[in-house]
Amino acid sequence: MGHIIINNLCKEYIDRRRVSRKPDGSRQAGTAIPVLDNVNLEFFDGELVCILGPSGCGKSTMLNIVAGFSEPTSGNVLINDKQITGPSADNIFVFQQNGLLPWMTVWQNVELGLRHIQDIEEKHEKIQEHIDMVGLENFERHYPYQLSGGMKRRAELARALVVNPDVLIMDEPFTGLDFLTHMKMREEVVNMHHLFGKSILIVTHDIDDALIMGDRVVVMSDRPAKVELNQKIEFSHPRSFVKQLGLRRLREDTFLMLGVSHAV
Ligand X SMILES: Nc1ncnc2c1ncn2[C@@H]1O[C@H](COP(=O)(O)OP(=O)(O)OP(=O)(O)O)[C@@H](O)[C@H]1O
Report the nearest approach of ligand X to the CB of residue 151 (Å): 25
Q: Which is nearer to Mg ion, 158 or 169 (CB)?
A: 169
Q: Where are the beta strands (DSSP E) in the chain?
A: 4-21, 27-43, 48-52, 74-79, 82-83, 92-95, 167-171, 199-203, 216-220, 227-232
Pattern 7-46, binding to Mg ion, x per CB under 5 A? ----------------------------------------
The footprint of ligand X on this chain (CB under 6 A) covers a number of residues equal to 11
- Binding test (CB under 5 A) with Mg ion, winner from 7, 31, 38, 60: 60
Please report the sign of the dihedral spanned by the C-alpha atoms of residue 255, residue 256, residue 258, residue 262: positive
Does position 58 interact with ligand X (CB under 6 A)? The reply is yes
| Burial tier of 112 (Cβ tally within 10 Å: 0-12, 13-18, 19+) | middle
User: With respect to ligand X, which residue has the nearer C-beta, 59 or 126?
Assistant: 59
* 67 touches ligand X (CB under 6 A): no
Closer to Mg ion by CB, 60 or 164: give it: 60
- φ, ψ for residue 196, nearest 5 deg: -105, -20
- What's the CA gap between 204 and 7, in Å, rounded? 22
Q: Is 164 in the site for Mg ion (CB under 5 A)?
A: no
Q: Which residues in 198-237 contact ligand X (CB under 6 A)?
A: 223
State the residues that interact with ligand X by CB under 6 A: 13, 35, 53, 55-61, 223
